[in-house]
Amino acid sequence: MTIKRAKVLGYCMGVRRAVNSAEKALAENNAGRVFTLGPLIHNPIALKALSERGLHVLSIDNIESLQKADTVIIRAHGVPPFLERKLREKGCSVINATCPRVVISQKRAAEYVEQGFTVVLAGDKNHGEVTGIAGYAEEASGGKAGFFYLVECKEDTIKLIDSGALEQKKVILLSQTTFSPKEFEAISAELKAAPVSSIEIFNTICPATKERQEALTELAKEVDGIVVIGGKESANTKRLFLSAQKLSSNVAFIESADELPEYFFALDTVGITAGASTPDSVIYEVEERLEK
């Protein structure tokens, strides 16, 4: 069997930065506990490894239980500003590991709302990054309605335009960093043709997302089957899987080497790709299992 890796796969810059922050905090904090506000990344294997080293997941409901000796890490997705303030008010150590690209979107949303713009965000409902950006827009508006809308697809955008909510308004379009480039373009086209007074469009999709999709397309031309490695709750990994299904008739979406389908061992050439929250160690394990 020949095994080929996609040219771009695994941890992106933002996720690696967040994981490194957690590992450093675990090594340095001997007096208190170390938490992440919500799961650090969307990968159960990486979370289990960190949990075994003493990393705890903190829910919003349990913030009051924090002590001054504790450390809390804000994950790469970011959080609404009121949540960060609430953490700091507890007097514990707070490490903001929000991806720099997400920070730019948070600031941009707040600044444009202050200038009278309405923010339209292309993203996935209930995604942590979306919740954080929405929080910045809401705070900048003073809690007023009509300054932030989330759309998940072209159809959502058409419904929003038809509702008249954007009519003659200044609109800014942003995107979740792991959103589908193709869907973003479709949403952009609808808003450009909408009866708004002005439109600012910022493609805030992380280049890492596009690079993984492009690398997958090239990989698919050279292999008989594709293994997509990553957490089942990871948005960008799900999109890699959906793209892979369109490119190959033999596709497996797995979280660990143990989930490899038996028929993959009979293929002549197998390609490997992995989501932005997939640890290097898991990729190596899958590769090793295929080689054996």
Q: Catalytic residue positions?
A: 129
Of 229, 236, 238, 237, residue with least CA distance to 256: 229
The structure tokens 């910022």 sit at: 202
Beta bridge partners of 95: 73
Contacts of 226 (CB under 8 A, 6+ apart): 216, 219, 220, 244, 247, 248, 250, 251, 252, 270, 271, 272, 273
Is residue 76 classed exposed, middle or buried when 0-12, 13-18 and 19+ CB atoms within 10 A define those classes?
Answer: buried
Check: CB of residue 239 under 8 Å from CB of residue 178.
yes
Residues shown for the chain? 292
Q: How far apart (Å, rounded) are the C-alpha atoms in residues 279 and 41?
A: 10
Please list the alpha-helical segments (H only) found in 163-291: 181-192, 207-220, 235-247, 280-291
Please tell me the distance from the alpha carbon of residue 121 to that of residue 123, in angstroms, as a whole number. Answer: 6
CA distance 237 to 230: 6
Residue 122's identity, in one-letter code, is: A
Question: What is the rounded CA–CA span in Å between residue 170 and residue 154?
Answer: 20
